[in-house]
Chain A
Amino acid sequence: MALRGRAHIYGDHIDTDIIIAARYLNTTDPAELAKHCMEDAGDHFTERVQPGDVIVAGENFGCGSSREHAPISIKACGVSAVIAKSFARIFFRNAINVGLPILESPEAAAEVQAGDEFEIELATGVVRNLTQGKTYQSEPFPEFLREIIDVGGMVPYVQAQLSAKA
């Protein structure tokens, strides 16, 4: 299955307080968290984002807090994937666990222009910038992580393990 959407561009070190500020940790409701996604970036992201869109960012995306509210709020905005030069380690795990596809592609991140249309194949790690007609290869996930992603995240994964045991 290919994901398809337009790019919203962010820089390096986009931290979890920018993605979802601590003052909104008063709820665990994805729809509520989505309303405040990227709020402190000050670029009216939630007014511009369309279902399927992708975030394309620089280095160390998601650095800072362990708050899972961050990938949840991005996913609940309708964002289909995040492409970055690199991800912070807890955000990397959290994104997999909540089923938000993420891809490391320094080249795609370096060459993107705002509004470029992307197509992404998760199974192969192939990233296409359709607007510029360029194709990039990102590292596909190792097999044990793909298992978690394939079943839709860590919760269904644990559920499957438990029912297999029963």
Chain B
Amino acid sequence: MAASTRLEALLTQRLGRSVRAGEVVEAPVDLVMAHDATLALLIADFERLGLSVWDRERVVVTCDHFTPPARIDWANLQKSVIAFTARHSLPGLRMYEGICHQLLLEDPRVTPQSLVVGADSHTTLVGAVGGFATGLGATDILACLARGRTWFRVPESIPIILTGTRKPWVMGRDLALTLLAHFGEEGASYQALELVDHTEDTLSMDSRAAICCMAPEMGAKAALFIPDAVTSAFLAERDHADPLIPDSPLYPYTNGESLQIDVDTVDSLIAQPHSPANIVPVRQAAGVRLDQVYLGSCAGGRLEDLAMAAAILRGRRVARGLKAIAVPSSVTVMRAAMARGYVQALLDAGVCISNPSCGACGGIDKGVLAHGDVALTTTTRNFQGRLGPPDSAVYLASTATCAASALTGYITPPDMVWEEAITREVDHDARLGAGR
């Protein structure tokens, strides 16, 4: 019997037998990722058990959470992680090169056929190129490092068909918030989102990554885009080679609900404190006074985001007294943003550019909030206390909404500051490949 979802097809191919949603399977993985904050948890057990790494070439270890460390205890944790990679001769240590999930997206070993696990919930981002990627806890990762395999309950897949034409300021992040408004915090629990992009202009790989990144906020185990021409173009440029993308059949999706989203109907959305699923149109939250605007994290901070921010802020200044911070998601992204003048435009507008890292997203690194602060960010979560003390508040929105709001110092719908020149610049950047 033919697979009814892409995930069933991927696992069927991998295990060499027919696999169905609902089954519990043990499967070999292609890559295992862990970072400085989560790997530190498993080092002592791993070495006490005398384990060795199953395949040194298939492990990615990132230093991105404490980057560089601002406190002695974080420096100590990171030191233990660096030393672990040295003791086990792991060539995959990525020092201060960017956010783990973004580095996986940029890694030629990640393909539409990949099965990737990472010790971080937002590993789902990697599904943007079409494979199966999910987050696990430290102990599951410990077992994966030793065995190169792990167990999964094969998730049911929810097909999501995107059609229509986006408004120029509507980004992938707004579609992620559309899905969050639909599913709530657990509406996709234990399931996978399989997205089909039939929109007029097609979504960039950066926008797809932003959508897949936010899947765990809906409870989902994984999210993926069915590989298409955008995937091929992205892989060709990334790998300097013709990608091998097999034709993706139209899966019947016999299980679960399906969802059709006409992006014509989508305008800028915002998640209000303290839940990523507490969604309203930006217009409804407009006028809230802001202490900080933060562009970055694995849900933002990519080239398309920096291009959008630069297009909106070029030749203008952020509001007086506002803490405006941008953190590129990787060194590769930052280099491209410098080459294209985005970094210069943001600096000229009064935005502080920090080094590629997870930054303030987890309330750990530079850019944490003060008591009573209200922030608007492109980060992944706005749980109470996520970016600072429990009495701070975080709103989540697209880079376009964040950049527009940085100009005024108040939550501002991007179309209120929009000009035809911005559309031209964004279109020009897209043709240059920003976000592909």
Q: Please list the residues of chain A having a beta carbon within 8 angstroms of any beta carbon in chain B.
A: 13, 15, 17-18, 21-23, 25-28, 40, 42, 59-60, 63-69, 86, 88-90, 93-94, 97-98, 142, 144, 153-155, 157-159, 162
Q: Which of A27, A59, A158, A162 gathers most chain B CB within 10 Å? A: A158
Known contacts A21-B385, A25-B37, A26-B71; A155 and B45 CB within 8 A of each other:
yes
Q: Which of B73, B135, B363, B390 contacts A27 (CB 8 A)?
A: B73
Minimum CB–CB distance for A163 against chain B, Å: 10
Q: Which of B71, B139, B142, B364 contacts A22 (CB 8 A)?
A: B364
| Inter-chain contact B137/A60, CB cutoff 8 Å | no
**Given the complex of chains A and B, what is the CA–CA distance between A165 and B143 in angstroms?**
15
| Inter-chain contact B137/A68, CB cutoff 8 Å | yes
Known contacts A13-B275, A60-B189, A158-B49; A18 and B383 CB within 8 A of each other:
yes
Minimum CB–CB distance for B162 against chain A, Å: 25
| Inter-chain contact B363/A68, CB cutoff 8 Å | no
Q: Which of A26, A89, A90, A162 contacts B73 (CB 8 A)?
A: A26
Given contacts A93-B136, A155-B142, 12 further A-B contacts (CB under 8 A): A17-B386, A23-B363, A28-B40, A65-B362, A66-B119, A66-B135, A68-B41, A89-B190, A90-B121, A90-B216, A94-B138, A97-B137
| Inter-chain contact B381/A64, CB cutoff 8 Å | yes
| Inter-chain contact B41/A26, CB cutoff 8 Å | no
The residue on B at minimum CB distance from A59 is B186
Interface size class of B (residues with CB under 8 A): 35 or more
**Given the complex of chains A and B, what is the CA–CA distance between A142 and B23 in angstroms?**
12
Contacts of A25 in B (CB 8 A): 37, 362, 364
| Inter-chain contact B38/A66, CB cutoff 8 Å | yes
| Inter-chain contact B139/A155, CB cutoff 8 Å | yes
**Given the complex of chains A and B, what is the CA–CA distance between A137 and B44 in angstroms?**
38
Q: Which of A40, A59, A66 contacts B121 (CB 8 A)?
A: A66
Q: Which of B51, B73, B136, B363 contacts A158 (CB 8 A)?
A: B51
| Inter-chain contact A90/B384, CB cutoff 8 Å | no
Minimum CB–CB distance for B54 against chain A, Å: 12
Contact flags B67-89 to A (C-beta < 8 A → 1, else 0) = 00001011001000000000000
Q: Which of A40, A63, A65 contacts B385 (CB 8 A)?
A: A40
Q: Which of B73, B143, B221 contacts A154 (CB 8 A)?
A: B143
B151 in contact (CB, < 8 A): yes
Q: Please list the residues of chain B having a beta carbon within 8 angstroms of any beta carbon in chain A.
A: 24, 37-38, 40-41, 44-45, 49, 51, 71, 73-74, 77, 119-121, 135-140, 142-143, 146-147, 151, 185-186, 189-190, 216, 219, 221, 275, 362-364, 381, 383-386, 390
| Inter-chain contact A158/B147, CB cutoff 8 Å | yes
Minimum CB–CB distance for B120 against chain A, Å: 5
| Inter-chain contact A94/B139, CB cutoff 8 Å | yes
| Inter-chain contact A68/B381, CB cutoff 8 Å | no
**Given the complex of chains A and B, what is the CA–CA distance between A23 and B385 in angstroms?**
9
| Inter-chain contact B185/A63, CB cutoff 8 Å | yes
Q: Which of A18, A40, A90, A159 contacts B137 (CB 8 A)?
A: A90
Known contacts A42-B390, A144-B24; A64 and B151 CB within 8 A of each other:
no
The residue on A at minimum CB distance from B46 is A155
Contacts of B136 in A (CB 8 A): 66, 90, 93
| Inter-chain contact A144/B275, CB cutoff 8 Å | no
Q: Which of B121, B189, B275, B363 contacts A86 (CB 8 A)?
A: B189
Question: 9 closest pairs, A vs B, by CB?
Answer: A94-B137, A97-B139, A26-B73, A60-B186, A68-B137, A17-B383, A22-B362, A66-B121, A40-B385
Contacts of A88 in B (CB 8 A): 186, 189, 219
| Inter-chain contact B384/A69, CB cutoff 8 Å | no
Known contacts A88-B186, A88-B219, A154-B142; A162 and B51 CB within 8 A of each other:
yes
Q: Which of A13, A60, A90, A157 gathers most chain B CB within 10 Å? A: A90
**Given the complex of chains A and B, what is the CA–CA distance between A63 and B216 in angstroms?**
8
Minimum CB–CB distance for A166 against chain B, Å: 10
| Inter-chain contact B38/A67, CB cutoff 8 Å | yes
**Given the complex of chains A and B, what is the CA–CA distance between A86 and B189 in angstroms?**
10
Contacts of A144 in B (CB 8 A): 24, 151
Contacts of A157 in B (CB 8 A): 143
